[in-house]
Structure 1
């Protein structure tokens, strides 16, 4: 496959390197150049997709493949199968410091001057050599390709945006909070609840947003509590607790998805969040802004498909347990995973008596439950599924020894020092002095590594899924730019939302299922694992999964 690297030049120019040839051209001519070469399906190589791709999308140019050097370097520096020393060379220190761009930066290349004109072709050569010399070049190559495809999908989702009805959102806010307040003031609904809380606790000057003031008021009322979290407050009995809990819920809505959120993140009838691919240690995405990974149920009715269009919402059932079956090559667990409900499959296979026990046991194994009913189920199911339960147990023991673990495709975990802070073995004088504290640190890191291997591999499966799905959606056809065709608009770890012409909705359902099957075969070649999807075809995102929502075939 042809690789074409793009690097910035002084004076708003671009250095294009292909094979042994170099070409300089103005940045303004780049969209036309990329569009013309896309017919050959090259792989574009650049420092950060979030810097290069948005202006191409704005010009109506879609890119099929890329290699994101920032993401690739981040991954290879930590991959146990790769020799990170091969990444050392000219400009290495600047590549190591390169941080992700965000969609709402004022300038396309708003980075520090030292990293402004890095040579993409030189870094690409280092990364290719590192993968080729690694112990697992095929797996690392697949991971790098999926990671970069995810970066393309993230930029496309920000560009296209989620259809969002501002009028519906404002009506929802007004129903629970009252009219929009002046800047810096509480909405009427919150102020009324605050008054109820003050009266109930006989604290006329209480600011319910202040943790110290609230703890003092609770203490004066004879309520002993160490924090003001909702879970702690629910355990208390007092007439002021109910309005206080309601206040905290609505205050959170006001602060995170209120009118200010609408002003900042919704424009032109679209919610345009900013994603950060590989934003967490496991490779899961994070959000640089807008909170796309946690849209609360209260405002989902505002996400409404355009006239003549629909949302296809697809999520995979029990992703991480299925991934555990595949990566451990546990045939018994893979057999239980056939069909829509893995936990019920475990019951049907005679492994446990109830679905609840199946869920307790599997989640307990992945998150390190050692006591109570969950711990008991882990012990029982270990005998039934020794390969799957043994894999997470080995990862936990490795973490307790301070060792790095890896996902199926080769992403490495942070070291114990990175994961638990500089107090651990950074300096003998700084490490916990007593053996009990050191043992707690080890056990905590072991719980992290136990889950890392499964959650990280689940993130890899999801990347393969959306990478294939975005291309399948493009091939469904249509004319014009990305947003005029069926396209991804949301991705939430194990769920995707596609905005599609209504006439193509059933075809989108089929393509989502096909992409899930492809992701499974790419990841787990040695063992067939089912990844069934639950799909809904709806006008409003709030209706997904509800009775009466159209289900895809």
Structure 2
């Protein structure tokens, strides 16, 4: 029985070669099939041998199999696994890391993932992102892919943490299967209800373009309040000029700055911006483009963010507004099982650090309230600010003032993120629990740090270097926690995907994922069993990562007909 089957394509001959491999990636035999019969052959091999499919990129291979109603249980995605191993500190010195940049060091040509905006953007701005190297592979020569697979297996086997890296690669590859399946199956979406919700918020859909009625009313109010009858509220320069004529000097028209104004235009302007954003991101044009056959099918990009979080390459699945979630409705006779991992990142921090006091606070559904009840900080809100401040590096305001209390109550947890921050400030990489490692600091960053420490350094250069070091420290502090939370979520998805096949007739399926939230579309009769499977999968994810660590990964879970009711 083959441990793995490698798929390679000859585009000119329109054939695919299936090469059976043993555990050491040694070929045990090959067969060549026409592309037209590939799905049928894969289905038969999957049923007979249950192998791990090895291919260059799940996004190249799996959609066509899904379209033919063929699903596989396991795969090894060479592109995703290469991205993890290329910089994994645990695999330092491996042949894979020492090799020059090659085809797998570039994103696939059909994927330009949307980067999730957060602290990680600071890296791109300062040139700390790695060089992508040559273009991604177009053809898939068997020898080249076998060499890549062997290099990856050797990198894991020779690493300092082979067990964790194997789990990470399996979870990352499994995530690619889940992402493709969710895009194929789609989130049930009622276009009529979507139109009704937009109409309630914006007014009827304009005929021939233009602003909907509600936006036009707000625009007229804004013009009147700013005494500018020709003002275009969609133009930041126009708005800034009009506000300056009212005596306000703003750097931008962000909602944070607008809220600080003492002027009657604030509320209508903020409402206009909110509704305008809804119209542009998820309005009627979005409905026309992204909903087909009553399904919303976003394009997920596994590992699209440097921490391992997913991004999207279209559809905005990671930013579905609450005001439109009523359009996500189960089919007749079905239900949506919606689960949200409560306060996932703080719980992950408790498990990573081995901080028993924080683990005790994580028992139950509301970690923040338990921290407040223990007297660590005065209120639940204070607990949330303090803990998220520790993870994201807030040093001022409420979070900064509460940090000493948090450090006394949970010394191991705070020490873990502080150590990650100090490493980042020195330009060192940090790693998640399973071994994903942050991008290396750029040569320019290291030069600035070195120059700032030299005798006679310019005072402004010193200030700039310290500011850059603090920014990188905030990034690495967050990286270790957010990245490990992403690993927990991948294991949750993989466990749940496996469990769903054994419920009823196996029709329940994952349809949506958002960092720490999943949605399963289930026959109504199976919904309670699915809900239990979601809970069991969360427990299994915790054990896979952290063994017997006494941290509870609580879920907010609901069985509903509409996503808005969850």
TM-score (normalised: structure 1):
0.91
Q: 1:362 to 1:156 in 2, by over 3 A?
A: same
Distance 1:357 1:389 in 2: 16
The 1:536/1:260 distance shift into structure 2, 3 A limit, reads same
Tell me the residue number matched to 2:473.
446
Alignment of 1:245-324 (within 5 A): 245-324=270-349
Distance 1:371 1:247 in 2: 31
CA contact (8 A) 1:51 1:101 kept: no
Alignment partner for residue 157 of structure 1, among 182, 205, 210?
A: 182
Confirm or deny: 8 A CA contact 1:17 1:121 kept in the other structure.
no
Superposed, which structure 2 residues align to 1:124-143 within 5 Å? 124-143=149-168
Question: Is 1:55 paired with 2:78?
Answer: no
1:497, 1:471 → 2: CA distance?
15
Q: Could you give the per-residue CA deviations for residues 245-294 of structure 1, whole angstroms, max 9, x where no partner exists? A: 22111111111111110111000010111101111111011111111111
What is the aligned partner in structure 2 of residue 541 from structure 1? 563
Look up the SS of the partner of 2:8 in the other structure: strand
The aligned counterpart of 1:37 is 45
Which residue pairs with 1:18 in the alignment? 20
Partner residue of 2:554? 532
2:527 counterpart residue number: 505
What is the aligned counterpart of 1:234 among 251, 256, 259? 259
Aligned length: 530
Quick one: structure 1 residues 440 and 6, their matched pair in 2 at CA, closer, same or farther if it must change by over 3 Å?
Answer: same
Cα distance, 1:68 vs. partner?
0.8
Question: Does residue 138 of structure 2 align to residue 115 of structure 1?
Answer: yes
Q: CA deviation at 1:79?
A: 0.7
The question of 1:522 aligning with 2:538 is answered no
CA contact (8 A) 1:149 1:467 kept: yes
Specify the SS of the correspondent of 1:311.
strand
Give, in whole Å, the separation in 2 of the partners of 1:42 and 1:35. 11
Q: Secondary structure at the match of 1:189?
A: helix
- CA offset at residue 500 of structure 1? 0.3
Give the deviation of 1:533 after TM superposition. 1.0
Structure 1: segments with no counterpart, 5+ residues: 105-110, 480-484, 545-553
Q: Separation in 2 of the partners of 1:283 and 1:264?
A: 28
- CA shift digits 1:389-444 (9 cap, x unpaired): 110010011111110000000000122339xxx66638999999610000100011
> Which residue in 2 is equivalent to 1:488?
510
Aligned with 2:274: secondary structure? helix
Could you say if the C-alpha distance between residues 90 and 35 of structure 1 is closer, same or farther in structure 2, counting changes exceeding 3 Å?
Answer: farther
Contact 1:91 1:118 in 2 (8 A): no
Which residue number in structure 2 is paired with residue 200 of structure 1? 225
> Is the 2:392–2:477 contact (alpha carbons within 8 Å) kept by the matching residues of 1?
yes
Return the alpha-carbon distance in structure 1 between the equivalents of residues 445 and 74 of structure 2.
42
For structure 2, the residue ranges without an aligned partner over 5 or more in a row are 22-26, 114-133
1:72 is the counterpart of 2:81: yes
SS in 2 for 1:249: helix
**Deviation of 1:184 (Å):** 4.7
TM-score by length of 2: 0.89
Q: Over aligned residues, Cα RMSD in angstroms? A: 2.5
Over 3 Å counting, the alpha-carbon distance change for 1:424 and 1:240 in structure 2 is farther
Q: Equivalents in 1 of 2:84, 2:446: separation in Å? A: 24
Secondary structure of the equivalent of 2:85?
helix
In structure 2, C-alpha distance between the alignment counterparts of 1:113 and 1:435, rounded to whole Å: 40
Change (3 A) 1:13 1:90: farther
